[in-house]
Homo-oligomer: A and B are copies of this chain.
């Protein structure tokens, strides 16, 4: 082989059955097994540092802003005055960072089961958390989020569920069921909003996304599925936002921009009024599939990602 070929250190991850992405690496910052999952933090030539959990890309330096703004900002903007925020998962700290941009926020609780993974992110992914873990409004807990909610009476304005894929045998699948969303609903204030990372929205691997959207829609009145292309994933990633009061498309671009300005939100690179509209306008085939009959996920009949 010639100079410049994709040799040397690499990381290959599955995109879907029969399809994989190979990244050329500059460095491996850490590769280890935590009590909960296999973790790698690497530095790739193409997309900078990147976090992998159980062989799946979580976010990359280059474009984590797209993923995290898309996950968090619509929910924050849809709430009239978010003061108490709960982040479930979100080990990199960037989900927290996005919530803290809104100066209305007085308290942000983050519950991530894997203390070792969070510590590795704090050490190696400073560009993600940007000090969010040290914000005085933040409380960080390492425990099972479902157990935490079941024992707690606290209510929140916005709850963001940013957990890993529901892998068979993994810990996350119980955070994608109808029973869990009922628990979440019971911990939201009146105008509360739920936002959920909801698996790939790509053709051919849509089933989990459709099922999560359908399941949340069976519990919340205004659940809206949306997605955004994340270059380092090579996929259009899906989310669901579920406001208790109004649908995301009820907001004009101008309203979104006004809310962001009123709350002193700065530093956004992906999200604003126009991006908000783009996010919630969906391609024809996807609207049709979302209107179709995906199954509701339950504790008894969970959905797993391969």
What CA separation (Å) do A258 and B306 show in the bound complex?
42
Cross-chain contact of A19 among B47, B204, B271 (Cβ < 8 A): B47
Who on chain B is nearest to A13 by CB?
Answer: B7
A22 at the interface (CB under 8 A from B): yes
A23 CB within 8 Å of chain B: yes
| A28: interface (CB < 8 Å) | yes
How many residues in A have their beta carbons less than 8 Å from beta carbons of B? 65
The SS class assigned to the A binding surface is mixed
Check if A133 is an interface residue, CB within 8 A of chain B. Answer: no
Q: Say whether B21 contacts A46, CB under 8 Å.
A: no
Contact B1 A2 (CB under 8 A): no
Residue from B19, B228, B235, B284 within 8 A of A270 (CB atoms): B284
Which residues from chain B contact A9 at a C-beta distance below 8 Å? Answer: 9-11, 25, 28, 31, 40, 42
A250: chain B residues at CB < 8 Å are: none
Which chain A residues in 37-52 approach chain B with CB under 8 Å?
38, 40, 42, 44-47
B2 touches A3 (CB 8 A): yes
Inter-subunit contact B284/A269 (CB<8 Å) = yes
Interface segment among A112-120, A139-147, A275-283: the answer is: A275-283
Q: How distant is A279 from chain B, measured CB to nearest CB, in Å?
A: 9
Cβ A8 vs Cβ B62 within 8 A: no
A6 and B13 CA atoms in complex are apart in Å by 9
A121 vs chain B, min Cβ distance (A)? 18
A172 at the binding interface (Cβ < 8 Å): no
Chain B residue numbers with a CB within 8 Å of A44 are 18-19
CB <8 Å contact, B7 and A1? no
Tell me the complex Cα distance, A6–B21, Å.
11
Question: Which chain B residues lie closer than 8 Å to A281 at the CB level?
Answer: 274-275, 277-278, 281
Interface residues of A (CB under 8 A from B): 1-28, 31, 38, 40, 42, 44-47, 55, 62-63, 66, 202-204, 228-229, 231, 234-236, 268-272, 274-275, 277-278, 281-285, 287, 306
29 example contacts (A-B, Cβ-Cβ < 8 A) are as follows: A2-B2, A2-B4, A2-B5, A2-B306, A4-B4, A5-B14, A7-B20, A8-B40, A9-B11, A9-B42, A10-B12, A15-B234, A17-B46, A18-B24, A19-B22, A19-B47, A25-B31, A63-B203, A202-B229, A228-B283, A229-B229, A231-B235, A231-B236, A274-B282, A274-B284, A275-B282, A277-B281, A278-B281, A278-B282
